[in-house]
Structure 1
Amino acid sequence: MPDRQRADARRNYARILAVAEEEVAAQGAGASLEQIARIAGVGSATVRRHFPTRRALLEAVSHQRIEALCVRARELTGTGDSRAVLLEWLGDVVAYCVSARGLAAALVYDGAVPDPLHENTCAAMMEEAGAPLLRAAVQDGAVTAGITVPDLITLVVGIVLATEHRPDPAVEADRLFRLAVAGLSPRS
């Protein structure tokens, strides 16, 4: 949000974002924009002016957690076994996505050509942060060449979205993530 916005616009943005964080935490990525506007005491046009798309709102709500995941990737880069480090970070992504409803939806790669103004910055941040971890694992022969960070994030998002309504989504998401990593073949 530009610093040159009027004070009332900045207050509206902050109020909308605070309400959106609560609503997304309670309702998930499908939280009603109209309900957010009503609780924030603004019109739905004001919400849309600040957040022109649902993804823009989800990204704003998720930004702090995304930044924490990016910091974690930077901390892990160059430490330990490259495959283990990559999997540790991806495990953190799974755990964060499960604990923060709406975060997985903010990371969805929908294949659409990005609108430069409203590009998926959360996904771009994660891709940039995870690239050194993946590159090291590929160089060490621990991960198959050709796998991309968007592939891995898409896998995580799919697992999180598939388990979000289970009785214990964190346990189920972690179990399915480990299954995906191990593959279906028994260990020899």
Structure 2
Amino acid sequence: MSRAEPTPQPRAPVRRADAELNRVRILDAARAALAISGEATMQSIARSAGIGQGTIYRHFPTRESLVLAVHRNDVAELVAAAPSLLAEHPPLIALRLWFDKLAEYGRIKQGLAGALHSVMRQQLSDEGYDSTTGAIALLLDAGKATGQIRSDIDEEEVLLLVGFLWRINNDADREARSRHLLDLVMDSIRTVGSAGQAQENVSG
């Protein structure tokens, strides 16, 4: 009686892992490139990611699909950061740290908007609005519950206050100016007497 040949193990999980790794590399490279210039090409992004042009087009058939994927990924990470920060820091500190993440997102968003036609720019803004305001509401509610955030301010008003992040010049002074302006926003929404509770260094 002949011995049965061993059944070969499927290799699909390995291929899926490689594909996911390539996708992450593409998104990271695209985010970095578009933050510098909205004119970054698919070819330059592929080179930066260390992959071939065929691979990038298999994941993202068009430049617009790649830009939208970067946007959606960044919004998801921004929203997920809110509860994580609240789990590790007091509400005021968590909100200020989240603002720093929002500032980085704003820097990248300028490059994304420059990479798309006007109709796509509107889609970029509309897609992340509800989830972003939801994250702000979570952080505000935590601060209000401890009496550190003014009760008369809501998430939409905060988003308006930080709207400068989408317009500030992306130059050498951007980071310092953003920090200063975000500190002013914090001063405007915190309650009297709570300033001394938020002296932890949140910009390191």
Distance 1:65 1:141 in 2: 23
Q: CA deviation at 1:92?
A: 1.1
Q: 1:14 aligns with which of 18, 21, 27?
A: 21
Q: CA deviation at 1:165?
A: 1.5
Distance 1:45 1:19 in 2: 10
CA RMSD of superposed structures (Å): 4.3
Q: CA deviation at 1:136?
A: 4.2
**Deviations 1:57-114 (Å, cap 9, x if unpaired)?**
23335755654443002334xx4xxxxx34x3332123234456527879x99664x5
Structure 1 residues 160-169 or 62-71, which shifts more? 62-71
Distance 1:63 1:25 in 2: 17
Change in CA separation of 1:96 and 1:178 when aligned onto 2, cut-off 3 Å = same
Q: 1:73 aligns with which of 81, 86, 94?
A: 86
Q: Which residue number in structure 2 is paired with residue 32 of structure 1? A: 40
Distance 1:45 1:26 in 2: 17
**Percent sequence identity over aligned pairs:** 15
Query: Which TM-score applies when normalising by structure 2?
Result: 0.54
Q: Secondary structure at the match of 1:173?
A: helix
Q: CA deviation at 1:154?
A: 5.3
5+ residue gaps, structure 2, are: 1-11, 114-121, 193-204
Change in CA separation of 1:146 and 1:154 when aligned onto 2, cut-off 3 Å = closer
Query: Which TM-score applies when normalising by structure 1?
Result: 0.57
Q: Which residue number in structure 2 is paired with residue 48 of structure 1? A: 60
Q: Secondary structure at the match of 2:170?
A: coil
Q: 1:133 aligns with which of 129, 136, 139?
A: 139
- Residues 68 and 124 of structure 2 are in contact (CA less than 8 Å); yes or no, is this contact kept in structure 1? no
5+ residue gaps, structure 1, are: 80-84, 115-119
Structure number, greater radius of gyration:
2
Structure 1 residues 13-22 or 65-74, which shifts more? 65-74
Distance 1:90 1:137 in 2: 8
Q: CA deviation at 1:6?
A: 7.2
Aligned residue identity for 1:72: L
Q: 1:60 aligns with which of 73, 77, 80?
A: 73
